[in-house]
Copies of this chain bind each other. A is one copy, B any other.
């Protein structure tokens, strides 16, 4: 059994929540995919194999994932919430292509450090942060120049 499944089961137990077949199906499907899907997209994917599972359940379960730390919630400004699998404590930020919607992850330790410096000078306690660069990915830059 994978670590994240364990985490979720522990979370359910701790909160006196029940381990249902729907939750396990959603968990497995969620861990299997590796992108930044909106609830809607994820639901549509899932429905192909499991037509019986309702949107509300998917939504509620994704929220649980976020709460227990195995999913990260993002809002890239398109009005839809997106979820991605959260691996360990690693943190990354995003390049969001406004042309094709592609999302590229990146990590930059220097930026993280500078953020801490900023927080310190403002006596601010950081709980989380969000850094997104919006623009065109290499493919879209090429396309646009034609």
Contact B138 A122 (CB under 8 A): yes
Q: A115, A131, A133, A135: which has the most chain B beta carbons within 10 Å?
A: A133
- 0 or 1 for each of A127-146: is its CB under 8 Å from B? (1 = yes): 11111111111100100000
Is A89 in contact with chain B by the CB < 8 A criterion? no
- 0 or 1 for each of A8-34: is its CB under 8 Å from B? (1 = yes): 000000000000000000000000000
Closest Cβ of chain B to A36, distance in Å, is 16
Instruction: Report chain B residues within 8 Å CB of A135.
Output: 119, 124-128
Contact B124 A133 (CB under 8 A): yes
Closest Cβ neighbor of A77 among chain B residues: B75
Is A48 in contact with chain B by the CB < 8 A criterion? no
